[in-house]
Amino acid sequence: MKLHLLGLPLLLLGRAQLFADLPFDLILGCPTDTSVTVSLLATNNLAVYLEYGTQSAVYTGQTTTNAVTNGVPSELALSGLGKDQQYYYVVRYSANGAPFSAGTEHVFHTQRNRGSQFTFDIEADPHYNDTPGTVPSVWQQTLTNILADQPDFLIDLGDTFMNEKYYSATNAYTMTQAGLLSACAAVRTQFFNIPGHSVPLFLVDGNHDPELGWWLSNSVPQANPAVWGARARQLYYPCPVAGGFYSGATNIDFYQQQPRDGYYAFEWGDALLVMLDPFWYSDQGVSKSSDPWAWTLGTNQYYWLKTTLENSTAKFKFVFAHHLIGGSFDTLARGGLEYSPYFEWGGLNTNGTPGFAAHRPGWPMPIRDLLLANKAQVFFHGHDHLYVKQDYYASGVSNGSPDLIYQEVPQPSHYPYNAIAYATGTNIGYNYQSGVFYGSAGHLRVTVSPTNAWVEYVRSYRPTDEGPGATNRMVSYRYAIPAPATTVSQPYLTGVGWSSGEAHFSINGTTGELHTVQASTDLTSWTNIFSTNLSMTPFSWSDPGASNYLRRFYRVLVAP
């Protein structure tokens, strides 16, 4: 257990509306197989510690007591946890030396094992403070609905903090460090803290958020709105750091002076989840280009994506970004399937001629083809403020399961509901011509099991807006993605030997599949002695119990 106090300037907030009962709010982040980070933002100077356990109200673990300062987010790491476990936790707090009080009990789940069914939620483009078009109470309704889903985590696909949209010469505050901190704080204390105590949050960068390549400066590389935006996000939200559980950038970023945390990936149950960030790496330190080929992941992120997809044996591979890496020809990066053949994403020039080799010399293939080659099932994107599910068949023939689904994620905050311009897409230049369309508001709920992944569109209606055909949390559309049929090869044991009182050998089989080693002394009665989802093949293992027997036979089976 450790406490991180981040050293950015104290920002005093007017947030009387925030914490109805308690002098703090909570945002969970960075869940792993053994840990979770709890960010605590207090409205008073407090002494705090956490109690936690695997049964409600039975707390077997406790952190040390830490002092937290009014208005400064503090990160408390709960570590040493068990994998695939539901945990219950409570904050104990004291002000001015008073006896400790208990906060409300909350929950979280550590990384799921393969084969363990789970749910996660997705939202895109909440557009804080973007009125008319969004309404705070509608976003709050969606976040309340997300909490009710009890998902293992929430992914927000960006256009969340919105400083880029509100920047102007007369409102330069939005692009100062104070202005960027203020937006991150407001979004936390008015919105994300609704599910944040029990639903770890993953953030993905959007074009209206401040972390934009063209907001970087090569003359003041460490003091510009893009860098300040990254710092503000990192202060208010626990963000995954690459190395260990999460993969991502490990090289020191020239601007941030630390590894950039805009793109990252992790596995959870039977799914690989990959978050992409084209914004930091496009037009770095120069004016925004008018050429859609300027949209790029950059070389490091591209090859990291390639390796991440290739190395994963997960049944489901989901890729997330705010929008296509290219998209519409006007550099606004609109659209889904119709614009997918072009630029870094699809490889073609606007006139339909191949352009990838000339524009990305040495890169093996366009991003879309990386996804297809590695059997990614869904690209979840936002940006266009509607629900569109589009099926892509590489052969051009629509039969069976699509090779890749383009899933445009609706807005959680949109009002009035179902605006036609957004529900069709075609009349606002986004060029959606095929697929399943719905308007906003709502979020996606994805349930992953070993045999299927279900994607549901859950609608948001405030109580006063409900009526015929408009029920809060109703599901407008759902579809299933079948797990790929795996070809399981006959497992076998090789290299049997004896050393240090243990029998050792190698298990050969199919990576990702559950293999069980059984032992016997008479070749008739067999006992399970070891099981693993084979992480590699051959897989070395030794039997520490072997010396207890005069002779012991071994065999390996797929499945328990």
Contacts to Fe ion by CB under 5 A: 159, 207, 383
Q: Token pair of 50, please? A: 């956490």
Instruction: Give me the half-sphere count of Cα atoms (radius 13 Å) on the Cβ side of residue 219.
Output: 1
End-to-end CA separation in angstroms for the chain: 36
Instruction: Please state the closest distance from residue 333 (CB atom) to Fe ion, in A.
Output: 8
CB of residue 58 to Fe ion, shortest distance in Å: 45
DSSP for 437-482 reads EE-SSEEEEEEE-SSEEEEEEEE---GGG-BTTB-TT-EEEEEEEE
User: Encoding tokens for residue 36?
Assistant: 């979770």
**Residue whose CB is less far from Fe ion, 200 or 335:** 335
Nearer to Fe ion, 159 or 338 (CB): 159
Considering the complex, state which of residue 31 and residue 410 has its C-beta at the smaller distance from Fe ion.
410
SS (H, E, C) 109-120: ECCCCCCCCEEE
* Type of residue at 134: T
Nearer residue to Fe ion within complex by CB, 204 or 534: 204
In angstroms, what is the minimal distance from the CB of 127 to Fe ion?
Answer: 8
Residue 192 CB, shortest distance to Fe ion, in Å, is 18
Minimum CB separation of residue 205 from Fe ion in Å reads 10
Nearest to Fe ion of 388, 514 (CB atom): 388
Nearer residue to Fe ion within complex by CB, 207 or 301: 207
CB of 156 to Fe ion, least distance (A): 12
Which amino acid is located at 74 in the chain? Answer: S
Least distance from Fe ion to the Cβ atom of residue 151, Å = 23
For residue 336, the one-letter residue type is G
Q: Is residue 272 within 8 Å of 316, Cβ to Cβ?
A: yes
Q: What is the DSSP string of 525-536?
A: S-EEEEEEE-SS
Scan for tokens 């069980």, then name that residue: 516
* Tokens at 379, concatenated: 């690209």
Alpha-carbon span 537 to 346, nearest angstrom: 34
Residue with smaller CB distance to Fe ion, 383 or 414: 383
With CB atoms as reference, the residue minimizing the distance to Fe ion is: 383
309 in Cβ contact with 318 (< 8 Å): no
Between 197 and 383, name the residue whose CB sits nearer to Fe ion: 383
C-beta of 159: minimal distance to Fe ion in Å? 4
Q: Which of 380, 355, 227, 370 is nearest to 291 (CA)?
A: 355
